[in-house]
Structure 1
Amino acid sequence: MSLKNNYDVIIIGGGASGLVAAYEAAHNSQSVLVVEKGHNLGGSGNYIEGAFAVDSFMQKKHADYHLTKEAALNEELNYSHYKADTNTWKQYIDGSADIIIKWLKDLGVEYFDVEPLGSGARTWHLFKCRGDAVINKVLAPKAKENGADIVTSTEVTKLITENGAVTGVELKNLENNEVSTVNGKHIILATGGYLNNKKLIADYTNYDANQLIPVNSNKNTGDGLSLAWNAGAQRYAMGMAMLFGGYIKDPYRPIYVYRYDELNGAANQQLLLWVNETGKRFVNEEVVDNFAEAGNALFTQNEFYTILDQATVDHLQNDSLYKPMGTYDYHDTKLPHLQEEIDDELAKNPKYLTKADNIEELAKKLNLPDLPATVKHYNEQAHAGKDEDFGMNAKFMIPVEKGPVYVIKQGVGAFCNMGGLKINLDNQVLDLDGAPIKGLYAVSNDAAGMLIGDTYGPNMPGTKAGYCFFSGKHVADVISEK
């Protein structure tokens, strides 16, 4: 594509927020360039299942929905211990239903329902065919129809500044290494955060980067944050990732292959017995009802494993789930391929999955000295119908008795992180003194530190995804008014 020398709006990142901004800015008669470093558009946004909104027409169809905007605001502020910015949340909540639901629906985005997640509120407006359809079937085509230029396999290597204002970008074509510059009145950072940058995780979070398993597009390496920091932006609210409990830890296969794996879902969402690196139980497994809190609990251990026996495998495959699996795309009541998956994996001699005839043999194979005593005590409590250790609901305490038995080694899964830049209500990036850097804006994960404390909030599911769409449209409308 032959690029113009000057654009009204240059958007760095071709994911959900970037393409919302691209469509809206182009629709508002702005000249627009979207720069995406990957071969394809969408990034981690392609995997978005649904988005947060309050007081939508979809929610009002459900008799059990009673959430008000005021209650949602207070809940989020309390959940973050008031580390979140009140006005940013209020702005987002007030505009969420019109932008996330009505505006996107009018563009052609299809939903199939709005649901809670675990013990959370009914705020998760679920897309048909996930974010991939929203981005690649609706937003990108409509942005192009309205005149936006979109380039892929191209990296922004530098923000060009003049007298303290950002006035353009330096581009590098990743296919031929050609470097060029393009001028822009308004530069929007929409690069998705830094979850895939181990150094930034190690330097600015408390997470063990070796235990953390990013389950995303693998492109969120902090590019936009580094560009902004080099241009004088304030580093802000780093340290929180959207954890979602355990995830199969296999060093020899791509992470994405286990995303909708039945064995992975069983290990992490069925309230089976969890033990640590010595074989001791360490938490009430019902914590999975808030998957971010589950991730926090798992990080308190050096390693952790899920234990299950053949009776459990048979039950999940042939009878029913013990509980619905909200963070996985399962709407069936069984795991019909579970035994097949286990047998196929064992045939590959995997490092994460071990089988034994009994618990004693399993403990010896994996050097889990406390496991036999843990299982004996757990089974006694399960039969007695009371968890004296952690208070787990008795109906979820499934004895581990029938051999063979299996153990699944896991890490802690995460989808994204939120934070890195401080913004104002116009999504302008702020400098070290809190003043806007002229011409520079941030949306989505790069800016979402304004919404969080130290733990993501599944209590209001879809908030991160919703903010992608909300912030993208909001910033484009702000720019069109300048």
Structure 2
Amino acid sequence: MTLTNKKTYDLVIVGAGASGFTAAYQASKNGLSVLLVEKGRHTGGSGDWVEGIFAVGSDMQKAKNVKLTKDDVLNEELDYSHFEADTNSWKQYIDHSAEMITWLRDLGVKYVDVQGLGSGNVTWHLMQGNGKQAIHTALEPQAKKVGTEIITSVAVKALHQDAHGTITGVTLESEADHHTETITTRAVILATGGYLNNQKLIDQDTNYNAHQLIPVNSGKNTGDGLNLAWGIGAQKYRMGMAMLFGGYVKDPTKPAYLYRTSDMNGAVTQQSLLWVNENGNRFTNEEVVDNFAHAGNALFTQNRVFSILDQGAIDHLANTGLYKPMGTYFTEKKTLDELKPEIDQALAEKLPFIHKADSIAELAQALDMPDLVTTIARYNQLCETGEDTDYHKQAKFMVGVDQGPYYAFELGVGAFCTMGGLKVDLDNRVLDTNGQVIAGLYAAGNDAAGMLVGDTYGPNMPGTEGGYAFYSGRHSANTVTDYVHSHQTVTN
């Protein structure tokens, strides 16, 4: 039994997530024969969790009278990245961003709102049902309708080139029995989602401590596309940037995604309450959570981090209200109704990240934090005066820690994805180590998104990576179409 229906295709796309399905639909609609290859049993990947996408000048923004120009965005993004981001890539993306909102809507994607995130601009076009619905109720059925062939549980193991370095085919391998086949193709789009789940690459090519990093994604983003491209001479570019999102309860016993929408995780990471390090010392203004990427950077300055709550804060969050509004999963929340049951369950299971004590001294002893008692005394004093002269947090978030029992929640640093690995031109063509095009090889989504960033993701323009996944998928499909039509068509 063969892995594919045919032996030749105009285009092979590696990875069936947001960028892969967008590319597949557009290329098939353009008349190309397209094979979409997914190594997992299920399609969608980390794209299923995209909450919303970036745009400037959309009809939704105009309806809300959002005063944000293309020049505003470009200048802010270049400044934010210290001009490590590519100016022309950003200009191109910005110019087509509003068009993508309409294009996806026409395919069946529904939006619920456009808003900012934390202190960010109002660029986040939230999708009903997140990326999961956009992919599986809009793009996937539409791609099938226009002729895309989709195979799962199959990996692309090698890219093939002719004597001139032009892409000519790929080797496929069944994940079930490791049976291999080679097919011919005119072009390949790599859309494999980056390398967040490849600890070796994280250790080798980033400054992050992989033991503190908590990937909250599909678990399949192991750098497959990057390794395929590097293996034929592609340039390794803009490695080292993960989309951090601040603290995340550190529980090695359970899949990380289970805590993504939990009230407990929201309480200890998004309410700007007290954070301390492994010695029990405060180390930052906890309002840094308003830019979740900055929060992740701040947490990585410490070896271990704990969020300290007393019973008074827990009662307030559960019964009275939030200290501050939170992100998409909590936008309708007025109180954290499940906070107490979730804490009780975690304690009952003796999960390693949570600690409870009747006194601060007891908590300090249990966690071997020599400075915690002094830190709490100082913090409570600042709360009473209403002025944080140490880190200048606003008075409304200076909530005293003085009502037992007391709780410490160990935090890791959450991350959604990496951005970067391959250098691409404005046609999303992959470049070699000399900056020359590898004919027939393209990259989209996270594999190519290093063109947009410096060392830190920008929640100041929320939705940029999710939006780029869809945009670059469509754009690369159109440029592949031009490439295929300008060369001899692959014989079917």
CA deviations 1:91-116 (Å, max 9, x no partner) are: 000000001x1000011100000010
- C-alpha displacement at 1:3, in angstroms? 2.2
Which residue of structure 2 aligns with residue 245 of structure 1?
A: 246
Any conservation in 2 of the 1:43–1:217 contact (CA below 8 Å)? yes
Decide which of 20, 29, 32 is 2:31's aligned counterpart: 29
Which residue of structure 1 aligns with residue 51 of structure 2?
A: 49
Select between 368-377 and 329-338 the one with higher mean Cα deviation.
Answer: 329-338
For 2:193 and 2:481, how far apart are their aligned partners in 1? Answer: 23
Is the aligned partner of 1:224 residue 2:230? no
Is the aligned partner of 1:105 residue 2:105? yes
Which residue of structure 2 aligns with residue 130 of structure 1?
A: 130
Which residue of structure 2 aligns with residue 157 of structure 1?
A: 157
Amino acid at match of 1:226: N
Count matched residues.
Answer: 480
CA deviations 1:198-256 (Å, max 9, x no partner) are: 00000000000110010000000000000000011000000100000011111111111
Q: What SS does structure 1 have at the residue aligned with 2:13?
A: strand
CA deviations 1:321-345 (Å, max 9, x no partner) are: 1111115444211101111111111
Amino acid at match of 1:104: L
Alignment of 1:301-340 (within 5 A): 301-326=302-327, 328-340=329-341
For 1:412 and 1:366, how far apart are their aligned partners in 2? Answer: 19
For 1:166 and 1:267, how far apart are their aligned partners in 2? Answer: 50
Q: What SS does structure 2 have at the residue aligned with 1:114?
A: strand
For 1:341 and 1:303, how far apart are their aligned partners in 2? Answer: 23
Give the structure-1-normalised TM-score: 0.99
For 1:16 and 1:58, how far apart are their aligned partners in 2? Answer: 22
Any conservation in 2 of the 1:359–1:371 contact (CA below 8 Å)? yes
Which residue of structure 2 aligns with residue 12 of structure 1?
A: 14
Amino acid at match of 1:18: G
Amino acid at match of 1:108: G
For 1:230 and 1:176, how far apart are their aligned partners in 2? Answer: 24
Amino acid at match of 1:127: M
- C-alpha displacement at 1:148, in angstroms? 0.4
Is the aligned partner of 1:396 residue 2:397? yes
Which residue of structure 2 aligns with residue 462 of structure 1?
A: 463
Residues 1:327 and 1:81: Cα distance change in structure 2 (over 3 Å): farther
Alignment of 1:186-201 (within 5 A): 186-201=187-202
Alignment of 1:342-421 (within 5 A): 342-421=343-422
- C-alpha displacement at 1:455, in angstroms? 0.2
Any conservation in 1 of the 2:194–2:421 contact (CA below 8 Å)? yes
Q: What SS does structure 2 have at the residue aligned with 1:58?
A: helix
Select between 233-242 and 322-331 the one with higher mean Cα deviation.
Answer: 322-331
Q: What SS does structure 2 have at the residue aligned with 1:343?
A: helix
Regions of 4+ moved over 4 Å: none
Any conservation in 1 of the 2:4–2:151 contact (CA below 8 Å)? no
CA deviations 1:75-102 (Å, max 9, x no partner) are: 0000000000000000000000001x10
Q: What SS does structure 2 have at the residue aligned with 1:335?
A: coil
For 2:142 and 2:27, how far apart are their aligned partners in 1? Answer: 11
Which residue of structure 2 aligns with residue 70 of structure 1?
A: 71
CA deviations 1:426-473 (Å, max 9, x no partner) are: 000000110100010000000001000000000000000000000000
For 1:55 and 1:160, how far apart are their aligned partners in 2? Answer: 42
Any conservation in 2 of the 1:10–1:32 contact (CA below 8 Å)? yes
For 2:4 and 2:46, how far apart are their aligned partners in 1? Answer: 27
Which residue of structure 1 aligns with residue 148 of structure 2?
A: 148
Any conservation in 2 of the 1:167–1:183 contact (CA below 8 Å)? yes
For 2:51 and 2:213, how far apart are their aligned partners in 1? Answer: 21
Any conservation in 2 of the 1:352–1:410 contact (CA below 8 Å)? yes
Any conservation in 1 of the 2:364–2:373 contact (CA below 8 Å)? yes
Any conservation in 2 of the 1:313–1:338 contact (CA below 8 Å)? yes
Q: What SS does structure 2 have at the residue aligned with 1:344?
A: helix
Alignment of 1:55-94 (within 5 A): 55-63=57-65, 65-94=66-95
Amino acid at match of 1:272: L
Any conservation in 1 of the 2:285–2:391 contact (CA below 8 Å)? yes
For 2:325 and 2:411, how far apart are their aligned partners in 1? Answer: 21
Which residue of structure 2 aligns with residue 430 of structure 1?
A: 431
Any conservation in 1 of the 2:51–2:328 contact (CA below 8 Å)? no
CA deviations 1:51-93 (Å, max 9, x no partner) are: 0000000001113x11100110000000000000000000000
For 1:62 and 1:326, how far apart are their aligned partners in 2? Answer: 19
For 1:158 and 1:244, how far apart are their aligned partners in 2? Answer: 34
For 1:427 and 1:139, how far apart are their aligned partners in 2? Answer: 21
Any conservation in 2 of the 1:265–1:328 contact (CA below 8 Å)? no
For 1:460 and 1:137, how far apart are their aligned partners in 2? Answer: 27
- C-alpha displacement at 1:293, in angstroms? 0.3
Provide the identity percentage.
Answer: 57
- C-alpha displacement at 1:289, in angstroms? 0.3
Q: What SS does structure 2 have at the residue aligned with 1:228?
A: helix
Which residue of structure 1 aligns with residue 121 of structure 2?
A: 121
CA deviations 1:148-182 (Å, max 9, x no partner) are: 00000000000011121111110001112210011
Amino acid at match of 2:242: A
- C-alpha displacement at 1:2, in angstroms? 4.0
